[in-house]
């Protein structure tokens, strides 16, 4: 049986948070590629997320520039940065929860990746039907936040979150594997 200490729980949370940030970046790349493929602008997902606090004008400009003028790469630095930061911090929060939740489990890489996919589905459901509507109400952000899953496309939104969970599970498993490998220090013994 694995003994759980406050420091091991803290390490599990930290590993989960870092893995969550990295998984959120993979998720964002997928979302941006899907948005570009749907002719709604490559950077639109970042502006969409940023509209939690920022005006939705950059999101709409990005979508319309691509649809009307063919500019799929309309870029507004500060809004894109805000969207990326919100997305990564959300990924870190969900990752920290995952790290804590699986801290006592010792499954192999494949099983932890599968658990991550299930977790991604849970994060999707919580985000789509609870988190985003609450965030929209708290920050008075409107329909673009409350109905983000519908606006992004349900299939795209589901795939993004399953991908997040898969990468999260793989990264947490990889971090555990690396930390479980004993480091040997060879000491020379005299004959």
- The number of domains in the chain is 1
Query: In this model, does residue 76 exceed pLDDT 50?
Result: yes
Residue 191 lies in a domain: no
How sure is the predictor about 182, in pLDDT bands with cuts at 50, 70 and 90? low
- Find the domain containing 29 and state its range: 6-178
- Does residue 185 lie within any of the structural domains? no
Confidence check: pLDDT of 178 > 50 = yes
Model's pTM, two decimal places? 0.88
Contacts of 175 (CB under 8 A, 6+ apart): 15, 18, 19
Instruction: Report if residue 188 sits inside a domain.
Output: no
Q: What is the mean pLDDT of the chain?
A: 90
User: Is the confidence at residue 78, as pLDDT, over 60?
Assistant: yes
| 13-61 pLDDT, tens digit each | 999 999 999 999 999 999 999 999 998 999 999 999 999 999 899 999 8
- Determine, yes or no, domain membership for 104: yes
Say if 186 falls within a structural domain.
Answer: no
Residue 68 in any domain: the answer is: yes
Is the pLDDT assigned to residue 131 strictly greater than 50? yes
Could you give the CA distance from residue 171 to residue 95 in angstroms, rounded to a whole number? 10
> Is residue 183 very low, low, confident or very high in pLDDT (cuts 50, 70, 90)?
very low
Q: Residue 190 falls within a domain, yes or no?
A: no
What is d(CA 103, CA 10) in angstroms, rounded to the nearest whole number?
A: 10
pLDDT in tens, 82-128: 999 999 999 999 999 999 999 988 888 999 999 999 999 999 999 99
Residue 56 lies in a domain: yes
Cα–Cα distance measured from residue 191 to residue 188, given in angstroms and rounded to the nearest whole number: 9
């Amino acid at each position: 049986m694995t003994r759980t200490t406050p420091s091991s729980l803290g390490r599990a949370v930290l590993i989960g948070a870092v893995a969550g940030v990295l998984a959120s970046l993979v998720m964002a790349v997928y979302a941006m590629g899907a948005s570009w493929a749907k002719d709604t602008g490559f950077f639109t997902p970042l502006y969409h997320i940023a509209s939690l606090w920022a005006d939705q004008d950059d999101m709409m400009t990005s979508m319309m520039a691509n649809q009307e003028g063919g500019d799929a790469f309309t870029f507004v630095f500060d809004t894109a940065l805000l969207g990326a930061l919100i997305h990564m911090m959300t990924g870190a929060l969900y990752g920290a929860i995952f790290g804590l939740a699986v801290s006592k489990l010792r499954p192999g890489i494949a099983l932890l990746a599968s658990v991550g996919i299930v977790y991604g589905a849970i994060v999707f459901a919580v985000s789509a039907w609870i988190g985003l509507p609450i965030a929209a109400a708290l920050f008075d952000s409107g329909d673009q936040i409350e109905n983000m899953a519908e606006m992004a496309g349900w299939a795209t939104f589901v795939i993004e979150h399953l991908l997040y969970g898969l990468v999260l599970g793989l990264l947490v498993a990889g971090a555990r594997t690396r930390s479980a490998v004993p480091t040997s220090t060879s000491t020379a013994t005299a004959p």
